[in-house]
Structure 1
């Protein structure tokens, strides 16, 4: 399998994806040595329906996601816990110098100290409990600010008040609510970063790795990329214009000497 076996738009996308790490020959070698198995060969999709998800309002004013019998934001229950009580734990960290002054925000790598000053990490673990109410809502109707943490488990907000919500609604109406590559629950509007046009509706896992596919055909990712299912809809991602202005994109443009964005 050679790089030139890929369709032109996929060959261009792979060269762009690895522009900061590999030259053309390096990308060609990557494709040449790619595992011949399907990209999703190790993924099994259960034939059972997805567990029922509901959002339950707590006395803290936030909604807590329950999938099946498990609350995604809560810690393990204790035997003495009363019914409807949820225990929460959240870890906060930040960087301080030797005088205890904050030198960096919680996220990110360890910053450099000034001169001989040492930088240390400070960690605070907060624990609290909430009690659930009888108010139950569909999870995709709960605004982001009203959701308890661990947003990864929550479905996208169902709305047509903004551009992305309208695109999401059009995709689900035309293609269904399942991921177009693996068949699991879809969660992300996937788009071509060069043209800005929407390609399909994917789960978060597939959306993260689909562009790494090196196969010209015979693979769920390859079939999806060669003929994106949302192409006939001619939907443009509302934030597509942001792609060309991202620091990573600007670095690639400088490295390659051209821009692939249209």
Structure 2
């Protein structure tokens, strides 16, 4: 499943784009340019099943400047970690933006038009580039290897780990955010979703099962800190 994140002003939805890509099998989520909250972040994480977006379409046509491009990069780092593969970004700009400094460093393509066919053509081109660039994309930590394309995990010697889907999502989240610790209620919201009706004991059970399946070095990196929560530390920590 390929993920598309739409970032628009609250009064512009790009509904035609959203409808088109949902119909073509993409997973599409929308974020307001001027509204964000922990709840919205959690909903976005859930919509993409813990994976970062592959392509971002950001509508700046009504924005006075290009600062949201910088904010987007920081937002993505905070939510998925700096080791997560960055999305390719298409920015809808106005002519006034072209004279502002440094905006080219924060976008991969841009348009001065809101023509629907042109937008779809550019987004399709970015998906094509991303498909080629992300082949075999993985996360490696100590003796643990995560394949983000197939949602599988293995020992560094190639032995596959028999992880259930939720165990993989939890592991991916903790490895992506290694060095940070999360309370059980926070993990429930971020990995299981806000509408999950189970209790916090669910997290304890999944962590225990996950720890038992990890290779030796990675198992020692999955830590429990009393009064803080669960986290994955870096090998050098």
- Which of the five TM-score ranges fits, normalised by the shorter chain? under 0.3
Larger Rg: 1
Give the TM-score normalised by structure 1. 0.26
Q: Which has the higher contact order (CA 8 A, sep 6+)?
A: 1
Give the TM-score normalised by structure 2. 0.28
Q: Which one has a larger percent helix, Structure 1 or Structure 2?
A: 2
